[in-house]
């Protein structure tokens, strides 16, 4: 098994348990919406542009809605249990592209439910996550209004946001830093240190890819 396969399986198990109407951390999306997003992302390359580009978002949303109409929720979850499209043919690509995408969406579902707690992750997955954080911090924090210093518990520091002016230090495990940098600031178990105004601005900023 790969990390992508592990996260995919665990996420689908959770979706099956919660059903189609449970909340997620993706604004306005239920678990049904998130499942449709994952299916479209892997199986409809023509609709992928709207995930990142607002002018194309309407088309992507319409394709997602068609998937929800076509597939009852249990069938949609079954569909995403196996990598779709090119990811089903190239397991190495699935791991490279989808491991952390699926991790974050798994947390989107977990952390939207009451009484969630951080998971204890394998050391090798934590290492993969930190590599993504350390190499992708500038991209994920490009909209930050303040400079950001990310401190990984256990070792590791990386920078993001503007170079000049105020800075906020964010400390936590690699997985929590990833959740934070993906724009789920209020649901990341991290410690923020800095000027209160700067800390509040960072918490409210639109982060992520």
Residues of the chain with CATH 3.30.1050: 123-204
Architecture of the CATH domain 123-204: 2-Layer Sandwich (3.30)
Segment 105-109 shows an average pLDDT of: 97
pLDDT at residue 104 greater than cutoff 90: yes
CB 129 within 8 A of CB 103: yes
pLDDT at residue 82 greater than cutoff 80: yes
pLDDT in tens, 21-66: 999 999 899 999 999 999 999 998 887 777 777 787 888 889 899 9
Query: What integer pLDDT is reported at residue 148 of this predicted model?
Result: 96
CA distances from 181 to 11, 17, 30, 57, 139 (A): 21, 28, 22, 22, 9
CB 167 within 8 A of CB 194: yes
Q: How confident is the model at residue 116 (pLDDT cuts 50, 70, 90)?
A: very high
Entry pTM? 0.92
pLDDT in tens, 2-21: 999 999 999 999 999 999 99
Query: What integer pLDDT is reported at residue 56 of this predicted model?
Result: 76
Query: What integer pLDDT is reported at residue 109 of this predicted model?
Result: 98
> HEC string of 32-101?
HHHHHHHHHHHHCHHHCHHHHCHHHHHHHHHHHHHHHHHCCHHHHHHHHCCCCCHHHHCHHHHHHHHHHH
Segment 142-158 shows an average pLDDT of: 94
């Amino acid at each position: 098994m790969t990390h992508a396969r592990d996260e995919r399986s665990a996420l689908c198990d959770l979706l099956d348990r919660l059903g189609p109407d449970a909340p997620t951390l993706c604004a306005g999306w239920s678990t049904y919406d998130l499942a449709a997003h994952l299916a479209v992302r892997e199986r409809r390359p023509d609709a992928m542009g709207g995930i990142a580009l607002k002018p194309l978002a309407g088309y992507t949303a319409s394709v997602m809605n068609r998937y929800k109409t076509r597939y009852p929720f249990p069938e949609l979850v079954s569909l995403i249990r196996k990598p779709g499209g090119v990811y089903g043919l190239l397991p190495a690509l699935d791991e490279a592209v989808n491991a952390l995408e699926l991790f974050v969406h798994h947390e989107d579902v977990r952390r939207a439910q009451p009484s969630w707690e951080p998971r204890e992750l394998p050391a090798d997955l934590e290492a993969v996550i930190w590599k993504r954080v350390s190499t992708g911090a500038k991209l994920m924090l490009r909209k930050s209004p303040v400079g950001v210093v990310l401190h990984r518990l256990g070792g590791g520091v990386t920078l993001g946001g503007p170079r000049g002016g105020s800075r906020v230090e964010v400390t936590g495990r690699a997985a929590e830093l990833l959740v934070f940098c993906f724009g789920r600031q209020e649901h990341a178990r991290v410690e923020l240190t800095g000027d209160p105004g700067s800390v509040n601005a960072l918490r409210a900023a639109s982060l992520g890819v």
